[in-house]
Structure 1
Amino acid sequence: MAATAPKATTTTYRCPRGEPTVASAMAATRMAIEAKCEIVIALGGGTAIDTAKAVAAMMTNGGAEADAYDFLEVVGRGRALTTRTAPFIAVPTTAGPGAEVAKNAVLEAGDRKVSMRHPYMLPSIAVIDPELTLGLPRDATAHTGLDALTQCIEPYVCCVPNPLVDAISMAGIVAGSSALRRVVDDGSDIDAREQMCLCSYYGGLSLANAKLGAVHGFSGTLGGLLHAPHGAICAALLPHSWTVNVAALEGRVAKDDPEVSARALARYAEVARAMTNDPEATVQDGIAFLVDLVEHCGVPGLGTFGLKASDFASVVEKSKQSSSMKGNPVELTDEELTTMLALAL
């Protein structure tokens, strides 16, 4: 965060480890106001960028008296911003959330993660340089990379796709599925790093202009419950979302509405062919590809982070309220959602 030239001074807020929270965003806002900052610069991953988005918004919408709950969805008052945010520059050092091109900040609020959202919250400038991701550890590379891939896949297969997002998300699917294994095995592979940055960028654009699905529908609730990295949660759920969605589409949806089933399954098959680079690949080949990729990346099950079977009912109930869940290609039953959690455990 910087003041005006000619003698620019800076005030640095170092985000606590873990996911961004309402408390940390408000603490950073108070620091910025006290230091009379005029510009916000985020250097880091999704935590830094989402925190900075919230800070830039609250600096000009309430200032020192700002309350994040005025603007938060689901758990807050959901008010719209009335004034443009402070100038905000996003410089991502991970390739995953695509937060640098999204108009929302996702914050932990109690036992769930929710968004502060408004078009004004888009960064003024985004600087994406794959060299800044070269130092990212293997686990973080894998988790953020699988999150980026998920954010390209879910908009492509969501219940309300559109041609513009189809083109962008498919480019991200091709980039991410071909580069992630390479960059996990060799973090110095700059070409693979660049492809993952593109995958992340395309994923951010895709989710901002279409919808997501069950993976992100669960991720907000699970993030608040487990305080686990968002990317790790998405990575653990991704292949199982395919298993459960495809089973529902091939079973009960095909019986009730064959046209909807066929249309959705065709899109899954298109993704499978893109990921595998095999023009004959089937949906089941796509599931096998994702299972193998997640295993290769060493993604732990959600039980590693503390999820228990006794949590399932509460997690399902809360997650059904998520806007992301409403983008799933089929409305899943409580039993199907529970199966997805059990498979990811």
Structure 2
Amino acid sequence: MSALGFEFATATRILFGAGRLAEAPEVVRSLGGRRVLIVTGKSPARAQPLREMLDRLGLATVVFRVEGEPTLEVAREGTATAIAVGCDVVVALGGGSVIDTGKAIAALAANGGDPLDYLEVIGRGRPLTHPSVPLVAIPTTAGTGSEVTRNAVLGSNEEKVKASLRSPLMLPRVALVDPDLLAGAPGPVIASSGLDALSQLIEPFLSARANPLTDSLAREGIRRSARSLRRAVLETFDAPAREDLALASLFGGLCLANSGLGAVHGFAAPVGGMFQAPHGAVCAALLAATLEVNLRALQARAAAHPALPRFQEVAALLTGRPEARAEEAITWVQELCQALSVPGLRRYGLTEAEVPRLVEKARVASSMKANPLVLTDEELTEIALRSL
């Protein structure tokens, strides 16, 4: 957590504000777009207004649908489509799965080869050498912050795990964040994506690689999430709440890309690969237990660790009370998850018998490297069991 030196990288441009989707066609054209691949979710109707706007500028468009969580097979299929149509700009309009797919397609179309040539953990881990095809990332959920990160998480059905393509060359050229696109999102989606965003603010703040720039973003994002997430799900998802959650997600993406994550995401990658569970819902289920085990481990084994006062600061930001104790952060998250009816990991197929295999995979996950301290297998097992 030293302030002596750090690196910060993000999308070339970030456009934020209600109604800014209308600027997307000119943005695409400014990038030299003539043949545009639009990556979107399972409902192509969501992309139709954007497609019509691009058509009016005389830009040819092809739509590629992503039905669920991105996989190696989906990335291969999308890349083949991009190459076949000769696309010169990729627009990813959707949630984190869609944007990750768009980033993978844009990178592979420019670099050639198979995803496994470049994938971490289960692939050959070769570096990308060519900049991605220009990518415009337009999120329609407020969770992953994928519009400003340098990686794409892909699932392997064979290995039953998720791993990342990762390179600064994968950063989107433009991140266009329009909070109006969040309107109409179902409550469970707001809840799981919002808790994913919250975890991506808290984990970088506690991270072994935290730095002053991401700290300032994390503090503001946690504050906005704390005041609006519960209200957005249980009361009204009005314009102020949409703006708060969109900013919390954006800031979370900026933080994780530059300060790393921790045990929540260390578990989330293998859980998602083993059970094809939605990423945001998995993070939501893991957050409270991971915070509690981390706090107890720090108190027991690293009493002078700089993450300990940060736990107290997280509690103050969540509760709105400067005097809040570190433990109150955990209570606040537990009560929020209960109020939002967040299901445990058993809902997605995890059982006690599968926990040892999950712990083995989580221990070597890339996100685990930035956890404030190395957790024992017993502590990792406790997190998994308590998240069921």
Shorter-chain TM band? over 0.9
Q: Which residue number corresponds to residue 293 of structure 2?
A: 244
The alignment status of 1:103 with 2:150, answered yes or no, reads yes
Consecutive unaligned residues of structure 1, counting only runs of 5 or more, are none
After TM superposition, the structure 1 = structure 2 runs for residues 103-122 of structure 1, keeping only pairs within 5 Å, are 103-110=150-157, 111-122=160-171
Normalising by structure 1, we get a TM-score of 0.94
The alignment status of 1:233 with 2:276, answered yes or no, reads no
Contact 2:231 2:237 in 1 (8 A): no
Match of 1:129 among 178, 186, 190: 178
* SS in structure 2 at match of 1:329: coil
Q: Which residue number corresponds to residue 73 of structure 2?
A: 23
After TM superposition, the structure 1 = structure 2 runs for residues 67-106 of structure 1, keeping only pairs within 5 Å, are 67-106=114-153
After TM superposition, the structure 1 = structure 2 runs for residues 90-239 of structure 1, keeping only pairs within 5 Å, are 90-110=137-157, 111-239=160-288
* SS in structure 2 at match of 1:74: coil
Q: Which amino acid aligns with 1:109?
A: S
Q: Which residue number corresponds to residue 12 of structure 1?
A: 63
The alignment status of 1:332 with 2:375, answered yes or no, reads yes
CA deviations over 1:135-165 (Å, ceiling 9, x no partner): 2111111000000000000000112321111
Q: Which amino acid aligns with 1:23?
A: E
**Root mean square deviation of aligned Cα:** 1.4
Q: Which amino acid aligns with 1:266?
A: P
Q: Which amino acid aligns with 2:130?
A: T
CA deviations over 1:20-43 (Å, ceiling 9, x no partner): 111011101111111121110011
Q: Which residue number corresponds to residue 335 of structure 2?
A: 292
Normalising by structure 2, we get a TM-score of 0.84
Q: Which residue number corresponds to residue 54 of structure 1?
A: 104
* Percent identity for Structure 1 against Structure 2: 46
Contact 1:272 1:286 in 2 (8 A): yes
Tell me how far apart the structure 1 counterparts of residues 152 and 143 of structure 2 sit (CA, whole Å): 15
Q: Which residue number corresponds to residue 268 of structure 1?
A: 311
Tell me how far apart the structure 2 counterparts of residues 2 and 303 of structure 1 sit (CA, whole Å): 47
Q: CA deviation at 1:258?
A: 3.0
Name the structure where strand makes up a greater proportion of residues. Answer: 2
CA deviations over 1:259-278 (Å, ceiling 9, x no partner): 22xx3221100000011000
Q: Which residue number corresponds to residue 7 of structure 2?
A: none
Q: Which residue number corresponds to residue 307 of structure 1?
A: 350
Q: Which amino acid aligns with 2:35?
A: A
Tell me how far apart the structure 1 counterparts of residues 59 and 320 of structure 2 sit (CA, whole Å): 51
Q: Which amino acid aligns with 1:3?
A: R
Tell me how far apart the structure 1 counterparts of residues 355 and 376 of structure 2 sit (CA, whole Å): 13
Tell me how far apart the structure 1 counterparts of residues 303 and 268 of structure 2 sit (CA, whole Å): 30
Contact 1:95 1:200 in 2 (8 A): yes
Consecutive unaligned residues of structure 2, counting only runs of 5 or more, are 1-32, 37-54
Tell me how far apart the structure 2 counterparts of residues 82 and 270 of structure 1 sit (CA, whole Å): 41
* SS in structure 2 at match of 1:108: strand
Tell me how far apart the structure 2 counterparts of residues 270 and 15 of structure 1 sit (CA, whole Å): 39
Q: Which amino acid aligns with 1:14?
A: R
Contact 1:302 1:344 in 2 (8 A): yes
CA deviations over 1:50-102 (Å, ceiling 9, x no partner): 0000100111111xxx3111110011111111111111101100000000000
Contact 1:95 1:196 in 2 (8 A): yes
Tell me how far apart the structure 1 counterparts of residues 323 and 144 of structure 2 sit (CA, whole Å): 31
Tell me how far apart the structure 1 counterparts of residues 117 and 357 of structure 2 sit (CA, whole Å): 26
The alignment status of 1:258 with 2:326, answered yes or no, reads no
Tell me how far apart the structure 2 counterparts of residues 46 and 233 of structure 1 sit (CA, whole Å): 14
